Structure 1
């Protein structure tokens, strides 16, 4: 199994375990509260959203990764049109980082 496929499967598992947050405003809140352990941003995210999320992550020392396109990311979690996801569990975040790096 490729690393990307393993990552997407793990993301689906984290979704079913309710260890993620969705929506730009909720993700920004989680970053500020240091609840987000990893932020995943789709590669085809708009400039403003991309900049806002990466700047907040950098300021609050939250790791982030640019991942696949929004369609693949959305399909992995079973929701439509999601461009960013915050992983709120340390274990899931560490494993995803190892698969993505």
Structure 2
């Protein structure tokens, strides 16, 4: 199994564990409150949402991935139609980052 698929599987597991926040405003709140450890933005999402997330994640030193997955891939992984999601557990975030590097 390739690493991208492993990350998608981990996203589904993290969602079932309640460690994922979805939706742009909720994700921004998690980033502001230093609860988000990794933020995913679909690479086919709008430029405005990509810029907002990039600016906020840079300001609060949160790792942002906006290149790896499409909206469809993220949506299937978590079982909801979403373009933005935050991983709010350090263990899941570290494992996902290591798989993506």
TM over 0.5: yes
TM-score normalised by structure 2 residue count:
0.96
Q: Which runs of 5+ in 2 are unaligned?
A: none
Name the counterpart of 1:21: 21
Superposed counterparts of 1:1-101, under 5 Å: 1-66=1-66, 67-80=68-81, 82-101=82-101
Q: 1:5 offset after TM fit, Å?
A: 0.8
Name segments (4+ residues, structure 1) moved above 6 Å. none
1:29-72 deviations in Å (ceiling 9; x for gaps)? 00000000100111101010000001000001011112211001
Partner SS state of residue 18, structure 1: coil
Q: Which runs of 5+ in 1 are unaligned?
A: none
TM-score normalised by structure 1 residue count:
0.96
Which moves more between the two structures, 84-93 or 66-75? 66-75
Residues of 2 paired with 1:96 and 1:11: CA distance? 9
1:2-30 deviations in Å (ceiling 9; x for gaps)? 00111111110000000010111100000
RMSD of aligned Cα (Å): 0.6
Aligned length: 100
